[in-house]
Structure 1
Amino acid sequence: MLAVRDAGHGLILSRHQHPTALAQALPSGLLATAAQGDVLLARLLSLSSRLPKALLNEGSSSQYAPVLFDFRYFKEAEVYERRIEASPDHVALDEGFREEFGELVEEVFQLFEAIVEQHRRLVGCLEQLRGSSIAQATLETVMQSQEGRQVLVEALAQQAALLLLLDRCIEGGVRERCVVAYYRIRGGAHAVGPSFGDIMRLCSATGFKTSASKLPAGYPAAYVARLPLPSDVVMSAITNLRSADVYAQLDHFPNPEHRSFALSHQASCVYLLLFYVPQVLHKDPALMRVLVDKHFSDSWMVPWAPGFCADLAWEWDQYRAARAALAGVVAPGRVRDLAQMYKGLLPGLESQMSHYLVAGVLQEEYVVQHTSEVFNCLRDANVTLRWLLLHASTRHRKLHSVMADTAPSAPDILNLLLKTAQLEFEVQRVYSDILQHKEARWLAQRQAVEDGFRQLARFYAALRALPGSDVDANLVTWFGRLAEQVSTMECTDHASASTQVQQLLRVLEDAARFSPADASLQTEQYLTRIRSQLAQLVSLAAVHKGLLTTLGAVGDFGYAWRLIDAYTPQLQALVRSNPAAVGQLRFLFIKVRRVLDVPLLRISQANSPALAETAHHYSEALLAYCTNLLQVVPSAVFDHLERIAALQTGQMAEMASRVEKDSLRDYAQPEQRAQRARLGANVACLAQGITNMDRIFLGVLELAPTQLLQGGLRALLAKWLGAACKAALVFGPPPASLSFTKAPSSQGMSLAAVFGAGAAFDREFTGRHHLAARLAELARSTSGLRQTLESMQDLLHVPGLRLWQEELERVMSLSYEADAEQYMAAQAPSSQTAAARSGGEPSTSGSTSPSFLWRVQGAELLGVAAFRSLRATLGTPGLVTLDWLLASRIASGLQRLLGLLEGKGHKGGWRSPMQEVLAAWGPPTSCPANGPAAYAEAVEGHRRLLAPLLHVLPLIGQAQLLRRRIALELRSSARLDAAGLVSALPQYRYSRRLAMLERVAPKDTPDACALATGMDTLLQQYHPVYRTVWLQLVGQCVRTYLSETTGAVAQGIQAVGIDVMLPREVSMLMAFLEEMGRYGTMSRKQVHEFIPPLVADTWLSALAE
C-alpha cells in the first residue's frame, strides 16, 4: 500500500495502513462520515458550476422571476399561487421552468438534504464517543491514536467547510429560490420530509456576498451555529491541534522557519473549528496567541477547501481576541519584511536549481551524496512559492498594496515554479529508480563485498603457507568472520544497515595498518575495492521510501488550486517568449495533479462507492486547467507557421530550375533564411516539448498533449481559412434591389461571405473588378500556408496536408450549411444572401458558353480563369460546396416557380389561362386557326402572368450553367440541361458569328442559355409526359410557321441556308431547342416525333442519337 498524502494541505500519513485496518481502528461510522464529507464537497463544487442563470439572477433580470420566490413565499403561499394562476403567461412560464429545470432543482435540494444528514450522522458518532464505555471507542482513545485523531479533526472541520463552501458557491438567495421551487414542484408540505425545517434553516440567506468588502456581523460563526457540534469535542480537537503535530509533518521540515508550511493542514482545521467556539475568537487571547504563534506566525492566508483560501486579516477583524493575536503578523512593516525576504531568496534558489538541472548533474551518485543540499533547496523553494502565491491574493487593502509594491514579479515566481517542479520530478525519478532496483543491487554489492573478504582470507592463508611467513593465523579467521557478517546484512532496516557498513569501513582502516609489510600492496588493492563497494552499500542504505514521502510533503501544491489560474496568461506569455519552457509544463502538470490526493484519501480508505464519481470531478477540473494552459502551444506554433508562410511568399524569391551564376547572390537572402530557420527552430522546440509530454494521467482522465496540439492546429487553421476567404472575397454592399438580412454565422462562415457579394460578375457591385486580383492574392496566401504546413509536418508530428484538406472541407461544409438553411427556409430568393450567391442578373449578363459570362459591352465577367483561380484557392472542397450551394439556390427557385404554377399568390393560378390558350391553339397535331398570330395573342394576353417566369427561370438556368462550369473544372461528368420558353422567342436572334442565340434587347431580356436551361430543369420536375406535351406544342408551332412560308423553303435549306429562308420565329425556336439539346438528355428520336426531320437534322446537330 502506497503512502497516502495530502497534496491539498500538506498531509502525509507516514503509515502504510490498509483502509480496512484503519476503519477497524476507528469508532463505528467515523471514517465513513469523513469520507462522505469529502464526497459532498465534490458534489457541491460540481453542482454549483452547473446552476443556470435562471436561478442565479435575481429580480427582473431572470426570465423566470415571476415564478421564483424566496422564503417570503411560505408566509403567503396562497397569495403567490393565486398571482401565478391569474396570469396565463405566468402559468406557462411555471410549467416551462418545471420541465426545463425540475430535475436540477431536485438535485440541488438533495444536496441540501445530504448536508443536513451528514451533520446528523456526525453528531451521532460524537455522541457515541462521548458516552461509550468501550475503551477503544472513547473520545480519549481516539485522540491518542494518530489516525483516529486525524480522522476526527477532519470530520469536525469538514462540517464547517461544507457550510462555508455552500454559502460561497450557492448564495443565500439562490438557495432559497431552489428550496421554494422544489417545495412547489413536489406539491407542498405533505411531499417534503421531516428534515425540511433543518434544510430551511441551513439555506436561509446569511447576507454574505462574495464581492462584498465587509462580512456580515457575526459571520460566519452565526451561520455555522445553525448546525452546531458539541463544544467539548471541538475544544478537545483544538487542544490537540495546539499541542501536537497531528500529521507528523515537522519531521519533513527540520528548519524552524518552515513550521507554518509544515503545519498548514492543521492551520486550516484550526481556522474552521474556531467558528464552532466563537467565544475563543472573542474572549480567549491566551489561547489565540498560542494558536497564532504556532500556525500563523508568518502567514495569514489559509487554504481550507479545494480552491478556497481564507484571509485572516479580513475575516478575523470582527473578533477581538483573534484580531489582537494576529496584529503582529499582519502589520504592514512585518509583511514588507517577509516579502523582501522571500524576494531576496529567489536569485539564489534559481541559481542553485539551474546548477542542478544542467544535463548530467543529477546522476544517481550525485543525488545520493547531496541529498541534504537538494532537499533543503526544494524546501526553501516550495516555502517561498507558497508564501508568495498565497499572500499575493490577500483581500486586505493595505496588505495588498504592500505585496504589490514589494513582492517579486509574476515571471520571476513562475520561473521558480517551473524549475522547482522539474527538480522535484528529476529527484523523484532518481530515487524511484534506485528503490525499484534497490534489493537486487544490494544483494549484488553485498555478495561482492563478501567475496572480497573471502579472497582476502584465502590470500592470507596462502601467504601464511609460504616458508618464513609471519602472517597471523587470526587474520585469516578474522576476514572470514567479516565475510559472514556481511552476508547477514539486510537493506530493509536502512538505519541498521548504514551503521553496520560504517563499522566495516572503520575496521578496514585498521586492517590496512596491521597487514604484513610483504603483502601491503596486494592488501591495499583488495581493501580499496572493498571500500568502494561498501560506499555503494552505504548509498543504497541511505535511500528509503521515507525520502519519497518527504519529497511529497515538501512538494505539496494543493494550496494553489484556482490560485494558479490567475497566472495562466503569464505562463502562456512565457511559453511564447521562450519555446523551451513548454517542456517544463509537463513537470508543472505532474506537480499540480497532487491536489487529488487529499479529497480522495478518506473516500478510498472507506471503500466508498462514490470514489469514481468524485475522482472524475476533480480530474475534469485539472484537465480543463491543463488544456486551457496548453492552448498556447498550437497558437504559438500557428503564429510561427503564418510568419514562415508570409516570409516565403512575400520576401523570399522562389528558386528557378536554372540560375545564372551572377544571380546566385540575389537568391541567397541570408537574413530571410536565417529568420526562417529561427522560426522553424521555435516550431520544433514547441513540438518537441509537447511530444515529450507523451501521456499524462490527471487522476482518472488522460491528458493527450499531441492530440491537443493537432486539435488546436485544426481549429486555428479553420479560423484562418474563414478569415482569409472573408477578407479576400467580400465586396461592397449589393444594390438596394438585392439587399437582404445577413445570415447568422454561428454555424460557421457564410458562403455568401466566402464567394463575395457573389454577384461578383455584376457590374453594380463595388470591388467586382478586383476579383481576379483578390483570388490571386488569396491563392498565394493559402498556397504559402499549405506548403509551410506540409514542410513542417515532420517537425510537428502531425499530418499537415491531411489537416489542410480536412479543415478546408469542413469550413466549406459549415459555410454551405449556414447559407443553405436560408434557401430552404425562404420560398422566394429575394434576400441579400440569394443575391450574393447569384452570378449576376441574367438581364445584364449573357452566357456565350458554359465557360464565359458576358456583359452587354462584351467584357468577360466570369470565365475559365476565374474558376481555375477558385479551384487553386479553395480546392476541390470549395468548388464542390459552391455546387451544393447553387443546387440549393435552384431548389429554392423551383419551389417558388412551382408555387406560381400551382396558383400560390395568383388568383386562379395557371390552370384556367393555360386551358384557354390550348383551346385557342387547337390540337397539337394541327395548326392554330389564326396561324402565327395565335402565339402573339397568347403572349400579349398573358404577359403579366408570364413575367415571374421570365425572372425566375433565368436565375435557375444560370445556376445550372455555373454548376456545369464547376463540373467541367473538376473534370467530372454532369448532365445539366438547358431549355427555352416559346413566349420569349421574339426577344432573341441567331448569331452566325457566335453560333448561338443573342438578345435583341439586352437591357430587359434574360440570357437565352440560362432561360433554356431553366425551362428544361422545370420540365424535369414533372412526369416525362409533360416533356412530350411540350415537344408537341413546339412541333405545332414549327409546322404553323412553316405552313405560312413559300415553297422556296426547301430550296433555301439546300442552297442558301436555313437562317435566310426559314421564318425568323422557327429559326429562333430551333436554336433555342439546340441549346436545350446541347446540355440536356433529349434524343433525336424524341424530336423527330414532333418536328420535321429535315428541319430538326439541319439544326439539332448537338442532340444525342
Structure 2
Amino acid sequence: MLDFLAENNLCGQAILRIVSCGNAIIAELLRLSEFIPAVFRFKDRADLQKYGDIIFDFSYFKGPELWESKLEAKPELQDLDEEFRENHIEIVTRFYLAFQSVHKYIVDLNRYLDDLNEGVYIQQTLETVLLNEDGKQLLCEALYLYGVMLLVIDQKIEGEVRERMLVSYYRYSAARSADSNMDDICKLLRSTGYSSQPGAKRPPNYPESYFRRVPINEAFISMVIGRLRSDDIYNQVSAYPLPEHRSTALATQAAMLYVTLYFEPAILHTHQAKMREIVDKYFPDNWVISIYMGITVNLADAWDPYKAAKTALNNTLDLSNVREQSSRYATVSERVHTQVQQFLKEGYLREEMVLDNIPRLLNCLRDCNVAIRWLMLHTADSAYDPNNKRLRQIKDQILTDSRYNPKILFQLLLDTAQFEFILKEMFKQMLSEKQAKWEHYKKEGSERMTELADVFSGVKPLTRVEKNENLQAWFREISKQILSLNYDDSTAAGRKTVQLIQALEEVQEFHQLESNLQVCQFLADTRKFLHQMIRTINIKEEVLITMQIVGDLSFAWQLIDSFTSIMQESIRVSPSMVTKLRATFLKLASALDLPLLRINQANSPDLLSVSQYYSGELVSYVRKVLQIIPESMFTSLLKIIKLQTHDIIEVPTRLDKDKLRDYAQLGPRYEVAKLTHAISIFTEGILMMKTTLVGIIKVDPKQLLEDGIRKELVKRVAFALHKGLIFNPRAKPSELMPKLKELGATMDGFHRSFEYIQDYVNIYGLKIWQEEVSRIINYNVEQECNNFLRTKIQDWQSMYQSTHIPIPKFTPVDESVTFIGRLCREILRITDPKMTCHIDQLNTWYDMKTHQEVTSSRLFSEIQTTLGTFGLNGLDRLLCFMIVKELQNFLSMFQKIILRDRTVQDTLKTLMNAVSPLKSIVANSNKIYLSAIAKTQKIWTAYLEAIMKGSPSRYRSPLSRPFTSLPQRRQHTLV
C-alpha cells in the first residue's frame, strides 16, 4: 500500500499541509501577541480621550455611515484618523492576515473533509484515513490545532482588541471590498467575553460556543474523539513500560482530547460513562496538563461547569488521592535524585557500564522526568486561581505532602538534564563508532584464535604446550567462524557470538587447559572481545529515540520562568553553574520538535520563520537568565569606582619615602583587587559554556557576555540620563548647570569603569561605550521627534532599538517624552526672550529684571562633556524639528488671521498707501497709525509670540540696544 505521507499521495499531502500550516499559524499568533499596539487596549486614559472617536469595536458595523459622518464633520478628527492610519496600517494588516489565516485553516479543513466524503481521493474515505497510523495522527492534530488556535487568540489577544483591529483594518484597507470573507472572519473572532486577567469570571458556555462559530462535520469530530479515547495514536506506551507512567506516556494525547472535547460538549455535560473512562485512562493521577508549548490548564477549574466531567474527576481530586500522589512523587524524586547524583560522579558513566546497564539507566531517566513533570505542573502558581478556595486547598495539600522545595526540584532538573546530555552524547559517539569498533573486536578475536592455533601446531613455542593437531584445527575453525560474522545481520551474528563464547568456555574445561596461564589468557581475551561485540551490536538508535521521548520538556516552556530567580542566584554564588545550565537549555530546546515536526515533513517554507521564532524565544530566555552575570559585574564595578574616586588617593610621580605608607592604602587596594577578581570569575563562568546550537540559533558565550554587558550598561546609563535630567521649572536659579555637572560625574564614572573592566573581561570598552551611548541618545531624540512627525517611527521600526539589548522607555514626567526633550525645553525656558537677553560679545544670557547672568556658552561645553557630540547633535536635530513646527504654526496663523480676513487686508493696503512713498514723512501720522493699530489689534499678540520664539529674537546687539535700556526697548517693541 502507498505510504500515506509519500509525496505522490495527494490525500496524505493535503492533510499534512493543513496541519503544518496550523503549527505555523500558532507561532505567528504568539509572535504577534507581543506587538499589540498599546493604543488598541485603551488602558491609558489619554489614549482613550485622544483616539476614542476614531477606534471602534464591532458596534461600528451597526451604522458605519453614522460614525463616518461624525468624523467628516470634524476636520481635526479626520486629520488624526489619517495620521493613525499611516502609523498603524502595517501592523494592523499583519494581524488581519493572521486572523484571516485562522479562518482559512478551518475552511481548508472542512473542504478536505468534504473531498474525502465525495470520493475526490481515490480509495480514500474518512474511515480509511483513520485506519492509517499517520492519517489518524494528522486528522486528530488538525482538529486539535484549530482548537488551540482559538484558545491562543483569546488568551493572548483580548476580544475587544481584536474587534478594534478588525474594524480599523476594514476602514483603512483599500482592498476591503474584495475581501468577501471579512464578515466570516469577524463572526469567528468577535469578542467572547473571556479575559485572561487573574480573577476574571468565565463567560457562560465558554469555550464550546466559541468553537461552534464555524460548523465542522460532526461525524469527523465524533470519530476523532473516539480514536483519542481508545487508541495510543503515537505509540508512546512502548517508551514508558511501567504502568505508573501511563498517564505521562499518554500526556500529549490527553491534551489533544481535552481540546477536542469542547467541539462535542455533550460528552462533558452528560456522558458520565465516557468521562469516567477518559479520566481513568488519562487523568487518574494528574489534573494539571500542558496543552501546547507550555500553556497549562487545571482540569479542576476548566471542567467545573460540566456535570459529567466534574463528577468523573472527583475521584482524582479526592484529598486522599491528592495526598497519595504527592507523597509518591516526593519519595520517587528523593530516590532518583540520589541515583542521578551517583551516576554523575566523575568516571562513573564509562562505556562498559552504560552498555551493561541500559535498562537501568533508562528507568532512572523515566522516573526523573515523570517526577519533574508532575511536580512542576501541579505546584505551578499559574495553574491555580487564588480566588478559588477548593483549588487553594488542593495546592496547599500538594505543597505539604510532596515536601515541595523549588530549589531541590530545580537541582533535580539540572542533574537530570546533565545526566541525559552525557548519556545522549555517549550514545551518539558509540553509534557513530559502532561498526568500526565491532570490526576491530572481530579482528582481534580472530587473530587471538589464529595465534592459539599456531601455538598448538608446535611451530610457535610456548612454555609447556604440547603439539595438538585437533586443537590446532579447532582453533583455526573458530577463527574462521569469528571472521564470518556479518555486521549487517545483527540478529544471527549475536546468536552465533553467544555460541562461540560457550564453545570457548567448554574447550577450556574439557581439554584441561586451565593449567596453562598463557592459553587461558588468550581464551579470556577472545571471550572478552566477543562480549564486546555483543555489547556493540546492541547499541541501537531506539535508545536515543526513547531518551528523546522521555526527556520532553515542552510542558515547561512557560513554567521554567518561575525558576529564573533560583538559576540566577545559583550563578551568582557559583558562576561555573553555567555549564550545568547549558544542558538544561538544550533539554528545553527539544520542545521545538513538537511544532516543527509536521512543518518539516511538509517541506513548508514556514520552517525557517517558525524555527527562528521559537529558537529566538529560547535564546532570549537564556540571555535573561545569564544577565545576572553582567548585573553582578556592574555591582562590583560601581564599588570599584567608588573606591577609586573617593577612597584611593592618586600616587604622584615623585614621592617621599616617608609618605609611602600614607599612599599605600592597603585595605582599599585589597578590596579593589578582590572585586576585580570577582569580575574575572564571572567572566570565566559564562565563557565555560561552549558555543551551543539552541534550536537553529548559535549561541556564542563571548557574544552573550558582550551583549549582556551592553544591556546592563544601556539600562544603567538610560536610567541615569532619565533621572539626572528632570527639572523643576519654578527653581530659582535654574537647576540646569548643577544637574548637568552631577550627571557628567555619573557618566564619567561609567566611562572610567569601562576603561578599567575591558582588560579583565576581554572586550573593547571604549568601542562599546561610544556605540551604546550614541544609540541611547539617538533613540531618545528619535522618540522626541516623533511628536513632530505625522508618520511616527515605532519601536520595531527603529534602527536604534534592539530586541536583545533594549533601550528602556520611561514614563514622561512633563510634556517631553524623553530626557533630551526636557533638556531642550529647559534651555529654551531659561533663555526665553521675554525674560532674558543675549549679549553677543560675551556669549552670555542675562536676566532682564535683575541683570544677573542666567547662562553662557559654558552650558554647551557642559552638555558636550556630559552627553558628548551625540548629545549636541541630537539637540540640534530636535531644535530643527521645533523650528519647522513653529514656522508651520506661523504660516497657519498668517493664513487664518490675515489671508482669510478681507478687513485686515484692506486695512493693511490702506496703511501702505498712506505711508507711501516710504522715504517721505507721513502726514497726520498719529491718526493713521492709531487707526491701523485699532483695526489690526488681534493680529499682534500671536504675531509677537511667533517672532519671540524665533532664533533672531534671542540675540540682541549691545551696540544698537544697550543692556541698561533693554526693558524700555522691549516695551517699544511690544508697541
Structure-2 residue corresponding to 1:747:
none
SS in 1 for 2:383: coil
Structure-2 residue corresponding to 1:442:
438
- How far the C-alpha of 1:557 sits from its partner, in A, is 0.9
* C-alpha contact (below 8 Å) 1:644/1:788 kept by paired residues: no
Structure-1 residue corresponding to 2:757:
789
Q: Where do residues 705-716 of structure 1 align in structure 2 (5 Å cutoff)? A: 705-716=701-712
**Judging changes above 3 Å, is the alpha-carbon distance between structure 1 residues 799 and 170 closer, same or farther for their aligned structure 2 residues?**
closer
Over residues 309-368 of structure 1, what are the superposed CA-to-partner deviations in whole Å (9 max), with x where a residue is unaligned? 222111111111111111111233433433343334444444333333334333433433
**Judging changes above 3 Å, is the alpha-carbon distance between structure 1 residues 891 and 732 closer, same or farther for their aligned structure 2 residues?**
closer
Structure-2 residue corresponding to 1:76:
63
Q: Where do residues 1014-1029 of structure 1 align in structure 2 (5 Å cutoff)? A: none
**Judging changes above 3 Å, is the alpha-carbon distance between structure 1 residues 214 and 315 closer, same or farther for their aligned structure 2 residues?**
farther
The CA RMSD over aligned residues, in Å, is: 5.2
- How far the C-alpha of 1:403 sits from its partner, in A, is 2.7
1:137 aligns with 2:124: yes
Structure-2 residue corresponding to 1:629:
625
Structure-2 residue corresponding to 1:927:
none
**Judging changes above 3 Å, is the alpha-carbon distance between structure 1 residues 557 and 816 closer, same or farther for their aligned structure 2 residues?**
closer
CA distance in 2, matches of 1:33, 1:836: 73
* C-alpha contact (below 8 Å) 1:579/1:682 kept by paired residues: no
Which of residues 138, 147, 153 is equivalent to 2:134? 147
Structure-2 residue corresponding to 1:46:
31
CA distance in 1, matches of 2:440, 2:347: 25
Structure-2 residue corresponding to 1:265:
252
SS in 1 for 2:216: coil
- How far the C-alpha of 1:524 sits from its partner, in A, is 0.7
CA distance in 2, matches of 1:92, 1:884: 31
Over residues 984-1020 of structure 1, what are the superposed CA-to-partner deviations in whole Å (9 max), with x where a residue is unaligned? 9xx9xxxxxxxxxxxxxxxx999xxxxxxxxxxxxxx
1:829 aligns with 2:821: no
Q: Where do residues 51-70 of structure 1 align in structure 2 (5 Å cutoff)? A: 51-57=36-42, 62=48, 63-70=50-57
Over residues 558-610 of structure 1, what are the superposed CA-to-partner deviations in whole Å (9 max), with x where a residue is unaligned? 11122222332332233223323223232222122222211111111111222
- How far the C-alpha of 1:284 sits from its partner, in A, is 1.9
Between stretches 482-491 and 462-471, larger displacement belongs to: 462-471
Structure-2 residue corresponding to 1:755:
741
Structure-1 residue corresponding to 2:503:
507
User: 5+ residue gaps in structure 1?
Assistant: 1-16, 743-750, 758-773, 846-854, 893-915, 917-951, 958-978, 988-1003, 1007-1105
- How far the C-alpha of 1:723 sits from its partner, in A, is 7.6
Structure-2 residue corresponding to 1:200:
186
SS in 1 for 2:235: coil
* C-alpha contact (below 8 Å) 1:249/1:262 kept by paired residues: yes
1:586 maps to a residue whose letter is R
Structure-2 residue corresponding to 1:566:
562
Which of residues 343, 352, 357 is equivalent to 1:365? 352
Structure-2 residue corresponding to 1:11:
none
- How far the C-alpha of 1:553 sits from its partner, in A, is 1.0
Which of residues 519, 539, 542 is equivalent to 2:535? 539
2:330 maps to a residue whose letter is K
1:799 aligns with 2:799: no
CA distance in 2, matches of 1:812, 1:886: 10
**Judging changes above 3 Å, is the alpha-carbon distance between structure 1 residues 785 and 321 closer, same or farther for their aligned structure 2 residues?**
same
1:457 aligns with 2:449: no
* C-alpha contact (below 8 Å) 1:593/1:622 kept by paired residues: yes
- How far the C-alpha of 1:202 sits from its partner, in A, is 0.9
* C-alpha contact (below 8 Å) 1:726/1:753 kept by paired residues: no
CA distance in 2, matches of 1:551, 1:573: 30
CA distance in 2, matches of 1:611, 1:519: 68
CA distance in 1, matches of 2:835, 2:497: 88
- How far the C-alpha of 1:495 sits from its partner, in A, is 5.4
Which of residues 17, 20, 26 is equivalent to 1:35? 20
* C-alpha contact (below 8 Å) 2:458/2:466 kept by paired residues: no
- How far the C-alpha of 1:616 sits from its partner, in A, is 2.5
CA distance in 2, matches of 1:627, 1:39: 25
1:233 aligns with 2:220: yes
1:246 aligns with 2:208: no
* C-alpha contact (below 8 Å) 1:646/1:784 kept by paired residues: no
1:619 aligns with 2:627: no
Q: Where do residues 692-1091 of structure 1 align in structure 2 (5 Å cutoff)? A: 692-717=688-713, 738-739=733-734, 753-755=739-741, 785=753, 788-790=756-758, 793-794=759-760, 796-800=761-765, 803=768, 818=820, 822=824, 826=828, 829-830=831-832
CA distance in 2, matches of 1:147, 1:123: 19
1:578 maps to a residue whose letter is S
Which of residues 194, 210, 213 is equivalent to 2:196? 210
2:36 maps to a residue whose letter is L
1:31 maps to a residue whose letter is L
Structure 1 or 2, whichever has the larger Rg, is: 1
Structure-1 residue corresponding to 2:305:
318
Which of residues 586, 595, 601 is equivalent to 2:597? 601
Q: Where do residues 251-330 of structure 1 align in structure 2 (5 Å cutoff)? A: 251-330=238-317
Q: What TM-score, normalized to structure 2?
A: 0.74
**Judging changes above 3 Å, is the alpha-carbon distance between structure 1 residues 183 and 368 closer, same or farther for their aligned structure 2 residues?**
same
Over residues 630-664 of structure 1, what are the superposed CA-to-partner deviations in whole Å (9 max), with x where a residue is unaligned? 22221112223333454566677889999999999
CA distance in 1, matches of 2:344, 2:335: 14
**Judging changes above 3 Å, is the alpha-carbon distance between structure 1 residues 593 and 430 closer, same or farther for their aligned structure 2 residues?**
same
Structure-1 residue corresponding to 2:912:
none
**Judging changes above 3 Å, is the alpha-carbon distance between structure 1 residues 650 and 371 closer, same or farther for their aligned structure 2 residues?**
farther
Structure-1 residue corresponding to 2:928:
none
1:477 aligns with 2:473: yes
CA distance in 2, matches of 1:459, 1:239: 71
- How far the C-alpha of 1:690 sits from its partner, in A, is 2.0
* C-alpha contact (below 8 Å) 2:836/2:846 kept by paired residues: no
* C-alpha contact (below 8 Å) 1:385/1:413 kept by paired residues: yes
1:579 aligns with 2:575: yes
Counting aligned pairs with the same residue, the percent is 31
* C-alpha contact (below 8 Å) 1:27/1:129 kept by paired residues: no
SS in 2 for 1:526: helix
- How far the C-alpha of 1:840 sits from its partner, in A, is 11
**Judging changes above 3 Å, is the alpha-carbon distance between structure 1 residues 308 and 732 closer, same or farther for their aligned structure 2 residues?**
closer
**Judging changes above 3 Å, is the alpha-carbon distance between structure 1 residues 832 and 364 closer, same or farther for their aligned structure 2 residues?**
farther
- How far the C-alpha of 1:81 sits from its partner, in A, is 3.3
CA distance in 1, matches of 2:280, 2:612: 39
* C-alpha contact (below 8 Å) 2:287/2:316 kept by paired residues: yes
**Judging changes above 3 Å, is the alpha-carbon distance between structure 1 residues 419 and 501 closer, same or farther for their aligned structure 2 residues?**
same
CA distance in 1, matches of 2:68, 2:584: 55
* C-alpha contact (below 8 Å) 2:552/2:590 kept by paired residues: yes
Over residues 908-941 of structure 1, what are the superposed CA-to-partner deviations in whole Å (9 max), with x where a residue is unaligned? xxxxxxxx9xxxxxxxxxxxxxxxxxxxxxxxxx
Between stretches 165-174 and 668-677, larger displacement belongs to: 668-677
1:168 aligns with 2:155: yes
**Judging changes above 3 Å, is the alpha-carbon distance between structure 1 residues 248 and 788 closer, same or farther for their aligned structure 2 residues?**
same
* C-alpha contact (below 8 Å) 1:316/1:322 kept by paired residues: yes
* C-alpha contact (below 8 Å) 1:789/1:801 kept by paired residues: no
SS in 2 for 1:318: coil
* C-alpha contact (below 8 Å) 1:208/1:216 kept by paired residues: yes
* C-alpha contact (below 8 Å) 2:864/2:871 kept by paired residues: no
Between stretches 807-816 and 500-509, larger displacement belongs to: 807-816
1:797 maps to a residue whose letter is N
* C-alpha contact (below 8 Å) 1:70/1:173 kept by paired residues: yes
- How far the C-alpha of 1:739 sits from its partner, in A, is 3.6
- How far the C-alpha of 1:275 sits from its partner, in A, is 1.5
2:42 maps to a residue whose letter is N
CA distance in 2, matches of 1:272, 1:843: 72
